Chains A and B, each alone.
Chain A
C-alpha cells in the first residue's frame, strides 16, 4: 500500500500555515464550489463519500449532519473537537499547526451545510502553539472575507471562535466538551437527548473531530469517486496513522483506510533495534491491545472490530518484546483514574481500585485471585458507567490479561519484586539487563540501551 498524503499534503511546505500558501495550493476553492452547491447538496455529497468520524467512534459524518433539524428557528452550532488527549493520538495537533486553513475551510463548508452561523474550535489548552497558528489563521480568514458577514457575497455569515480548554481529558467526550464550552465542569451529559437536537445552549449542534472536518474541502473539490478510490467499502478515504513507541521512525503516515500494521511498519523502518513486536494499540490507549498475530489486520473500522479491538483514532503505540505488560497496564490505568471526572461510581471508585491491585501485583505482593478480581471489576465497569471513558479504562486490563496472563500471574508472590524502581522504560528487569548488554548502538535514543 502506498502513502497517500492528502490532509498531510501541505505539512512540509515552508510557511504552510499562512493564507498565502493555502490559497496558492488550491485553498478556499472548495468553499466557492460548496456555496454554489447549497447546504443540502453538500450534505448529500458527504453522505455519498462515506466519510466517517475520525475522532474515535467512526460515526458517518453526512448522516450526523442530516440529523440537524431544518427550519426549527433555533440557532445551530458547529463545534470542532480539538481536545486531542487520547494517549498515543498526535494527528490533530500537527494538522492545526501545519495547515490551520484546511480546518477553517472545512468549518465554513460544514457550517453552511448545517445552517450554523456560529462555530467553535474547542482546543486542548496545553496546545498553545496550535492556538497561535489557529488564531492567526482565523484573523486572516476574516480579513479575506472567508469568515464574518456575507461570505464571498453568498449571504451566508459565520463567526468562528477558538476556545482554549484548561486541561481535562474528559472534555474530549463530546457532551462533556459542550458543558465545558458552556463554562461548567467538563462532565458528560445524559443522552438522549443528543447534541443534534440539544447540544450547545440546548440548540442543534454538530460536534466533529479536526481530521473529519479537514477532510471535507478535499471531498468537495475532488469528488466522491476520488475519495472512495482509497480505503475500503465501508471505511473509505485516506487516514492519518500515528506511530509511536518502539518504532524506528515514529510519526504520521497518511495511507488508505485498511492499511495494515505490517505495511505501516515497513514504511516506518520496523521495530526499533531489530527487536520483536510484542503488543500494540490500534487506536489509542482506550482500544484493546493486539499482538504480533494481528500484523495483517486491515486497519479500518470493520477490520479492527473483527480482530476484537477498535480503530479509535488510529494511534498505534508500539511495544517491543522488552516491555513489562504489568507496568504498561498499571501506567495506563493510572491515566484513567486520574482523568475520571468523578460523576459516576464505577469509574470514580473502580479505576483507582484497579490501580491499587495492579500496583500490588507489580510489587510482587499480589494474590492468586487478583487477576480474576481485575477481570471481574472490568466486567462490572464496562457498559455500566456513564460514558465511554470507563469502557476505555477496561481495554488495557482485559486485553493485557487476555494475551499476557502469565505475566500477571508471574508477579504473584515470589518474594522478589519484578519491575522495581530503577528499571526504566517499562522494561522487564531481565530484558533491560539483556539489552543493555547486547545493544551496541552507541548513543541510541532508546532508553532501554541506557538502562543500568
Chain B
C-alpha cells in the first residue's frame, strides 16, 4: 500500500499535474535510488550522481522555476509551493541529501526567477546553466552565522549574526570578499553560490549570486559530515571576487525573508519525505518482528504499539504543517514586505517544528528496531543521520528562537 495515502496533507485535492509529477518522482525514487541502495549505499559515483542527473536534467526539475522564455518549465508563481512540497516529499523519501540539494537550489533561484521578483538579466545569465547545459546544476547558500574571531571596532551584524562576506559596488561591478565561508551545502560541487553579504556603504544586507568559476573564489578541503552525503561541502574564500552588478540579486531584508521561506518550505518537505521512508521501514518491521517469545508481533504489543503510534502522529502533524505552510506561501504572502516577514516567521517555526519532531520520531523508530535500526543494511540509520544533519544546517535553534522573540515580543536587544 502507498503509505502517502494513509497520511492526509490538506483538505484540497492536489492538481492533476501535481499528481502526475509526484507519480513520476515516486517512480524515479524507487527505480533510481531505492532499488539500488543496498548495493551502492551512499556512493556518489554509483548512486547519487546518476540519480541526481536523472532528476535534475532528464526530469527537468532544475529548470522548473525558470520562465518559459528562458527555456524553463515556467512554474515561477508562488502557487508552485504546493508542487514543491509534494515533489520534495518524494525526493526526500528517496534520499534526504538529494532533496536538500534541490531545496537549496530552488530557494536560490526563487530569489530572482519568481514572478514577483523576476530578474531578466540574471535569468538570461543563468538559464544556460540550468535549462540548456545537459548537466545537473546545483545552487548553494551561504548565510550569516557565528564569527570565528573577535572583531575590534563597531560591528554591523545581521540579527546578531555575522555576515559571511562583504560586497562593495565599484562602477558596474561588485567586489566581494570574505574568508572561511561555510556554505550550507555543496561547497565543492555547486555551480552557483548565493551569498548573503553586507553591502558596504549603505550597510544593508544583500544577496549576491556568484558563479563557482569566478576568479578569486577558492574552495577549501572537502569536509566529511554525519549525513547528507549527496554533496561534498567545503569552506570558501572570496578574494576580491568581481561579478557584474546583475549578480546583486537584492538588497534589504525582504528578499532574505522570501528566500528563507522557500528554503524552509523545501527543507520541511524533504524532512517529511525522509520520515515517510522511516515510517515505511517501521511498518514492515512491526509486521514481522516477534517479541516476548509468544508470537506477539511488535505492532501488537501495547508498549511498542504506543511508540509506533507516536511516530505516525509526528509524521501526520508534520505533513499537515508542511502543507499549511505551502498554502500560505501559495497565497502570495511573500510579495509585500510586512506579509513576507510574517510568512518567514511562520516558515521558520514550521521547519523547526518539523525537523525537531522528525528527529524525535526517527529516534523512536531506531529504538524499536534494535540493532537492525543501527545497521546500514536496513537503511534506516541513514535517514537518522541525514535528518539531524539537515536540522543543524538551519542554524542554532537557540538563536533562531531569538528571531521569533524579536518578531512576537518586539525584543529590541536580542
Please determine whether chains A and B interact with each other in the same assembly: no
